[in-house]
């Protein structure tokens, strides 16, 4: 199979999410830093509307943190590609149909 | 900068949901009219890359980390409205599957970290690109638009926190703007590097019709 440009793009994304992400900084981000410094960080705790299957980009039930993060990254990246590719296909499909009419 | 559930008052998060729905709805309509065969894999790859890049927090000053947002990057390749669909989907997946950003605050997050970059950022990019011209114009335009819109997103976030009564605006504004000066530099740096690499290897990918 010939490697297309978007295969390469997807591989780069998978490497970032699957290999590099476990080494990302776990320091608070900009908003969390401001929330900690100005004492409102607790407002965001316990108010979750729903519980996500992979909170904080970790697959639950895997004790090895690196692996749990790496897997969450791979799952998320593939899910993003598939979902947005599908949305794009659906939008394109409806525009082609209209052109025919 | 993903706002969790609980940070914003109901009138604010509801207003932001309405604004996001109206703008994303318009983006769907525009994209639906124009999307071509070659846009589809580009949308998928950008969504995958931006999701992955948003996992890569880098330490900045003062015990704080930051990651890129990617709205300007998506818009440089796709144009403002197709990029809006990519970014909105990224934030929705992050909130639903990864507890990154709240559900009530999803509209606010799509606005601050998505729409400001994809729409306003795109027009800043195009303006600078036309003035300077050529590849240099593209790179400078993308970098400047990325930095400005990340800062504007941080300022919008501060205004929403202030309006929600969580923290005085006079406190939130300088704090959010200050901490995001460097995070904006990350945004600009990655945006310029990615656009530059594609310019060197596959410049045709930057010539898709902008939607």
CA distance to partner chain B, nearest, from residue A46 (Å): 8
Cβ <8 Å between A28 and B63 = yes
Cβ-defined contact of B56 to A21 (cutoff 8 Å): yes
- CA-based nearest residue to B75, from B57, B87, B63, B58: B87
**Of B41, B58, B89, which has the smallest distance from its Cβ to A83's Cβ?**
B89
Contact (CB<8Å) A30/B183? yes
The DSSP secondary structure of B20-76, one letter per residue, reads: HHHHHHHHHHHHHHH--TTHHHHHHHHHHHHHHHHT--EEETTTEEE----HHHHHH
What one-character DSSP code corresponds to residue A42?
Answer: G
B21 and B108 Cβ atoms separated by less than 8 Å: no
In three-state secondary structure terms, A29 is strand
- For chain A (length 101 residues), average pLDDT per consecutive 10? 90 98 96 96 92 95 96 98 97 65 43
User: What pLDDT, on the 0 to 100 scale, is given for residue A95?
Assistant: 59
Average pLDDT, 10 consecutive residues per value, chain B (211 residues) = 97 98 97 92 98 96 93 98 98 98 98 98 98 97 98 98 97 96 96 98 96 95
Q: How many CB atoms lie within 10 A of CB A45?
A: 10
For residue B209, what is the DSSP state? P
The full set of domains in chain B, from first to last, is 10-207 (1.10.1760.20)
pLDDT reported for residue A101:
43
User: Which residues are registered as beta bridge partners of B65?
Assistant: A29, B59
Task: Return the residue in B6, B48, B61, B62 with the most chain A beta carbons within 10 A, the one to mutate for interface testing.
Answer: B48
Give the pLDDT confidence of B71-82 residue by residue, as tens digits. 999 999 999 999
ipTM above 0.90? yes
Chain-chain contact of A56 with B59 (C-beta, under 8 angstroms): no
Burial of A10 (0-12, 13-18, 19+ CB in 10 A): buried
């Amino acid at each position: 199979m010939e490697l297309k440009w978007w295969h390469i793009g997807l591989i780069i994304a998978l490497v970032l999410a699957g290999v590099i992400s476990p080494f990302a900084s776990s320091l608070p981000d900009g908003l969390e830093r401001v929330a900690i410094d100005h004492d409102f960080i607790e407002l965001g705790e316990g108010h979750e509307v729903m519980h996500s299957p992979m909170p904080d980009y970790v697959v639950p039930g895997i004790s090895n943190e690196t692996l749990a993060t790496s897997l969450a990254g791979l799952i998320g990246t593939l899910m993003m590609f598939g979902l947005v590719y599908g949305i794009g296909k659906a939008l394109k499909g409806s525009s082609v149909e209209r052109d025919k009419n | 900068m993903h706002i969790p559930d609980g940070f914003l008052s109901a009138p604010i998060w509801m207003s932001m949901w309405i604004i996001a729905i109206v703008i994303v709805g318009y983006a769907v309509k525009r994209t639906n009219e124009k999307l071509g065969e070659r846009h589809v894999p580009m949308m998928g790859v950008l969504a995958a890359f931006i999701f992955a890049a948003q996992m890569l927090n880098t330490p900045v000053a003062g015990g704080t980390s930051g990651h890129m947002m990617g709205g300007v990057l998506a818009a440089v390749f796709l144009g403002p409205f197709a990029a809006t669909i990519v970014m909105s989907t990224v934030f929705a997946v992050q909130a639903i599957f990864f507890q990154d950003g709240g559900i009530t605050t999803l509209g606010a997050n799509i606005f601050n970290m998505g729409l400001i970059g994809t729409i306003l950022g795109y027009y800043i990019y195009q303006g600078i690109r036309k003035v300077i011209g050529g590849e240099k114009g593209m790179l400078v335009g993308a970098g400047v638009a990325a930095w400005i819109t990340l800062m504007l997103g941080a300022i919008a976030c501060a205004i929403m926190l202030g309006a929600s009564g969580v923290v005085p605006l006079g406190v939130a504004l300088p704090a959010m703007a200050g901490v995001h000066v460097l995070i904006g530099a990350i945004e600009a740096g990655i945006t310029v590097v990615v656009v530059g690499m594609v310019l060197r290897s596959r410049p045709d990918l930057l010539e898709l019709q902008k939607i």
